[in-house]
Structure formats: structure tokens, C-alpha cells
Amino acid sequence: MKISDGEKLIVLMLSELYEKMGIEGEIEPEFIKSAIFRDHLWGIPWKYSGIPFEDQETPEIVKEVVDILDMWSFIERGYQELSDEEKAQLETDAAPFGKEPKFRGFDGNNEAEYMSVASFLINDLDRFQEFKGRSMNSHMPSVETYERMLHTFESKRQNLISGPLNLVELSKILKEMTHPENR
């Protein structure tokens, strides 16, 4: 979605009027303000899919963050489905990353845009609710690691209709967290 600077001001002013006057409607002024202030206008058609907006391409960074969050959803769900013995085996097989694997976000200093998109998806668009309430700041670069993991995950994704990630699949994906030069 593209709107001019003037249109942004008008929409922000209307949102504030809605809030001050206590107007209840289908459009959430707080969400609209967040989308504008955080420069996530792509999220407005996502939230209000019933409005016939013009077709637009989802930004690449949004697609990548969605894929990363989706992958981590499957990792965490798959881990929860493992038996205690399998969890112990994963801890050994994918050491040091096999013990209670959890999505830890993106680096706030160098990957702030990724962190912002993830936060917006989770907190404003109510997607990936399993990550709600977590810090999105990993305090270390993560995108390169997640991209390696995604490469392995994508080959497994097609088979996930039959159930969660199993021990072998989780191990292969989590092993990608180790940089290739350190294997």
C-alpha cells in the first residue's frame, strides 16, 4: 500500500479523532497509527482483507520473516511432540542448540528491520501468537543462521501435512545453526 505523506497525516488525524471521540468501528485507529509510524503499510491490507485494495507485492523482508517465524513454529511444536528420550537425543545430536530450541528474535542493532517486522506480525497482526510476549532482540546477528536453517527446513516443509517435525528433521535443521566453518 502506498500513501502520500499528506494522506498519512490525514489518516493519522482521523485515527486520533476516532480515539478521542470514542468511535467504535471496524477499523482500529491504534493499528492504523502503528502501521504508519512503523512504516508497515503492507500490513493494512493483511489486517483488512475484506477491503478490495489494489494488488501489491509483499515486501521481501516480510516474506522472509514470515518464513522464519513459520519455521520456528514448526521447530518448537515438533520439539514439544518429542518424547523425553528423543529430547535427550536431540540435545546430543544438535549440540549445543538441541536443548529446548526457541525462537530468540533478531539482532536489535543490526537487524532492526527484521525485528520490527516480526514484532508487527506478532503484536499488531496477531500472527504467530506462540511468540507473543517474548523479546524479539536476540542481541546477536541471526538472519544468516536462520537462512541456513530455512534452506534445510524448506525441503521438509512439503511433508509436514502428515505431522510435526521428527527427531531427525529437527536435528538436521538445528545443526544449521552451527556455521559451516565450525563444523
CA distance 169 to 149: 11
The pLDDT assigned to 139 comes to 96
> What distance in Å separates the CA atoms of residue 105 and residue 65, rounded to the nearest whole number?
10
**Average pLDDT of the chain, as a whole number:** 95
Task: Give me the pLDDT at residue 148, please.
Answer: 97
Q: How far apart are CA 136 and CA 118, in angstroms?
A: 7
Output phi, psi for 137, to 5 deg.
-100, 110
pLDDT at 151: 95
Structural domains of the chain in order of their starting residue, each with its CATH number: 5-47 (no CATH), 60-182 (1.10.3190.10)
Tell me, what's the pLDDT at 155?
Answer: 87
Q: Given this model, what pLDDT does residue 168 score?
A: 96
Please tell me the predicted confidence (pLDDT) of residue 159.
Answer: 74
Residues of the chain short of pLDDT 50, as ranges, are: none
H/E element, 61: helix 60-81
